[in-house]
Amino acid sequence: MWNFRIDASESRFQGFSEKWYTRPLKQSGPVIPMPVPASYNDITQSKELRDFVGWAWYDNEFYVPPELTTKRVVLRIDSAHYNTIVWVNGQEVMQHFGGHLPFEVELTKYDVQGPNRVTVAINNTLTPTTLPPGTIEYKNDPLKYPKGYFVQNLQMDFFNYAGIHRSVKIYTTPKVYIDDITIVTGIQETNGMVSYTVKSTPASSVQSVHVAILDREGRSVGESGQSQGQITVHNANLWWPYSMVTSANETAYLYTFKVTLTSNSGVTDQYSLPFGIRTVSATSTQLLLNNKPFYCHGVAKHEDADIRGKGLDFPLIAKDFNLLRWLGANCIRTSHYPYAEEIMDQADQQGVVVIDESPGVGIHKGNFGNESLSHHLQVMEEMIQRDKNRPAVIMWSMANEPQSGLPEAEFYFKTISQFVKKMDPTRLVTFVANADYQEEKAAQYNDILCINRYFAWYSDCSHTELINLQLTNDLQAFHSKYSKPVIVTEYGADTIPGLHQDPSFVFTEEFQVEFLTEYHKVFDRLKKEFLVGEMVWNFADFMTLQQITRVVGNKKGLFTRQRQPKMSAHVMRSRYHGLMHSN
């Protein structure tokens, strides 16, 4: 529990003018206990706090045991949404723009034996250059609104949860330490080719680097004394998604890459990184994992649950992975932002393939300028840096449903796609398109065409008899234009659990089943041609803004927000288990 208060002053700047970071937050005014990690929005009964836009302040105390002060002491925040400033003992130590990704600072140069106070101020305001973008609209009609009244307009449809969403850690490393490891794998006949680079700091103090690849039993299967090189793993066990497991291969085989660093005082640092040997590629009609065709049958998700909002929650992570297995889903998209590292660890370990998406959701006209682009590149860099060694990640998604029919989208996505390919030539890149195939300007830079479709929901609502014709024509047109494989990354219908009507009616469980089943008929046909994946929108119901089109949130889940199955979950389960055996 941290101390917490929002700055609801008219200026929204009282915290800075009164320097709340210079003394315990409770001395600045009333504070409440706030759990970390969690979104702050749903923790109290206050509507003002739930819907708050502006600076929220947290503080807490920590100690660094004297024996650790001889080491490098680092403060790491696994994620906070959105714009964050951190002070230690009243001194500003770091700032970070953007949710969903970690940031850290070395505290060694500050006196931190303690007791220490860490103060964190977080602003959830979204602007035209943040990711996701948003706008603040001031309402100036004095007959309708009080002075200074504003609303936050968002271009995404999920609730803008805010706060310290993931863990805050103090960790230590030796002074001469392993700073970064990059592993890239290839396959030659039955051998795994493991190329690696180890970065150590300060490089001048390093005497030697030793690397060893350990198998699951801890036996060394390859070693080297170089900080950079390639190791051949003979008769390698490849990393396979669990749906591709046969008697000859195992699920998600992870090796350990063990690095030992020596300085003139002996062994100074050791790090063991789990990794998998696998390759990803695409032809004009296929997605290949380890040179074998892979059909992705999965779900798009959200980090979202009652009370904690987007806060990290281990029981929820375990439950969701159990439900993915129950469903037979072999693939998830981290719609619409990078998920917690603890979730990604499970995907690596359990053999669930991931399309790793940036928070670039709802990029519209006015969000394609240079400032937006350079921030987007920065976010892609942080995301790739964080997830580059994960075997589960097969594709980077630059964005969800940008206005990619606009001419300015072409340069924007060309630049990001080239940047991503340069940083990571071993994975595929995409963004999830929503424009009509004739208007689409940027999908040429995607390796796989990812498309969200809502025929019979947002268009021709209720007319499930049109899905077959419309979806077939649309997907075929996209594929013919670009000669690339296609994944339908979203399709779904809002469904209120427990609402039944026969014949089907929108919002009933019967309608959701009928709707999904009509899509499946098309998928089953096009799967033989160029379709390489289908992903339901959404795994579970999730919270949105308050709108007349949403009944307390988006209800397109196969599961309720509390993770109980709707009728559709059983239908998907039978489909996915069937697909698994034909994969």
Residues making contact with ligand GCB (CB under 6 A): 157, 336, 400-401, 452, 490, 537, 554, 556
- Name the minimum Å distance from CB 303 to ligand GCB: 13
Output 77 or 361, the one with its CB closest to ligand GCB.
361
Q: Whole-angstrom Cα distance, residue 516 to residue 506?
A: 13
Cα radius of gyration rounded to whole Å, the chain = 25
Q: Whole-angstrom Cα distance, residue 432 to residue 489?
A: 7
Output 255 or 457, the one with its CB closest to ligand GCB.
457
Peptide bond into 37 cis (omega under 30): yes
- Name the minimum Å distance from CB 158 to ligand GCB: 6
Q: Whole-angstrom Cα distance, residue 420 to residue 377?
A: 8
Peptide bond into 538 cis (omega under 30): yes
The three-class DSSP label of residue 200 is strand
Output 21 or 515, the one with its CB closest to ligand GCB.
515
Output 238 or 449, the one with its CB closest to ligand GCB.
449
Output 51 or 157, the one with its CB closest to ligand GCB.
157
| Nearest CA-CA partner of 538 in 38, 161, 157, 165 | 157
- Name the minimum Å distance from CB 351 to ligand GCB: 26
* Choice among 382, 401, 510, 518 that is catalytic: 401
Q: Whole-angstrom Cα distance, residue 199 to residue 173?
A: 14
CA dihedral of residues 370, 372, 377, 379 (deg, nearest 10): 160
Check if 439 is active-site. no
Quick one: how far is CA 274 from the chain centroid?
20
- Name the minimum Å distance from CB 547 to ligand GCB: 10
Residue 400 Cα distances to 105, 109, 300, 396, angstroms: 31, 41, 12, 11
Q: What is the DSSP letter of 568?
A: H
- Name the minimum Å distance from CB 335 to ligand GCB: 6
Q: Which residues of 83-97 are buried (b: 16+ CB within 10 A; e: fewer)?
A: bbbbbbbeeebbebb
The three-class DSSP label of residue 321 is helix
- Name the minimum Å distance from CB 452 to ligand GCB: 4
Output 254 or 572, the one with its CB closest to ligand GCB.
572
Active-site residue numbers?
A: 401
